[in-house]
Structure 1
Amino acid sequence: MGKKQMGFILGFLFLDGLLLCIATEVHYYDFVLKDANFTKMCSTKSMLTVNGSFPGPTIQARKGDTMFVNVINQGTYGVTIHWHGVKQPRNPWYDGPENITQCPIAPGSNFTYKVILSTEEGTLWWHAHSDWTRATVHGAIVILPRGKYYPFPKPYKEQTIILASWFKGDVMAIISNSIASGANPSIEDGYTINGEPGDFYGCSNGTLSCEI
């Protein structure tokens, strides 16, 4: 192979890599932590949510993109957010473990996370990383591949499914009582699929949410 041919190939590879870098995008999201009332399984309780929803919002990007998530804490407790399954190369201070990589986001304050996507593809999730707040503060991260969307014919429909435990009591009170007494914490009262209890639970159709 001649020098000109080698130079052309190297130049093409460099240009191709440069184009891939240029193609990445930056996304911005606001997460407002606040209490909301929910009625499920024949009882009503107030719990911490993101943007008043359970589960929280799904955020979406493509492989290699960067996301900035501004977390505004209007709740009662200090909270951090972890981006589960995201490697965060050379970016550990935005990973989210409370009192390890950052202090909790205090009530009445905000913190903006820089979430760097590298090799991840598929559906991951984000969740609170502070005691049991993760039981109510969580949601999906959908990371699409770059280039061709599917390696097969596009399906008719996509649906993100999030499974969760449901506690009728206040999750923070449950863990606090357990620590104070030394007893095991109360187990969940049921399970939800995308925030809704199954048909085998009482009052399964009586779901109501109301922001405070």
Structure 2
Amino acid sequence: MSPEHFSSRFSLFQIDSRDARYEGFYTPNQSSKEAAVLVPVVIRPTGLHLLFTQRAEHMRQHPSQISFHGGRIEHDDPSFLAAALRETEEEIGIPAAQVKPIGWLPSLHSISNYTIHPLVGFIDTSTNLNLNPDEVAHSFEVPLEHFRSRKNHSTISPTRKNKTQVVHFMPYKNKLIWGVTATIIDKLVLHLG
């Protein structure tokens, strides 16, 4: 898929409001917090790739998990966009000027009580990544086409506190992408049609 085709499909395909919800996810409450993440699309000669980080092992929340770049909305963030771009620069050293936002996927609410707002954007990787070792162990890319194949998706549906949640899993080589990150990818693939 070319960058132009990706942008066109992303902007033209409208998600039905019934499909915008994430099956089996939680609902916000009065103590919910908000977070923004960047779903970074990298343009390579071989096609489009998604860029991931593996969180540092010493992180208090979600250590060693594979994730997109982002985090909690801070008081001085003027918008979800600003927060996603700030967190991306803090975590992997890509400044806002090297991100071309494409659009937003529907928000979802996680078991850790965050409402997450996923921003999809192309990133310019002409400069080297500068990983923050306090937050990121390493980064890697996965071809977008890997996720477009449904054979690379699996789910389980555990019940917790009388709520059945669908948990997505998307293995790639020796990596296991799962949980919220995999759910966002699933929605992206559906969004592309």
Please give the TM-score of this superposition, normalised by the length of structure 2. Answer: 0.24
Q: Which has the higher helix share?
A: 2
Please give the TM-score of this superposition, normalised by the length of structure 1. Answer: 0.23
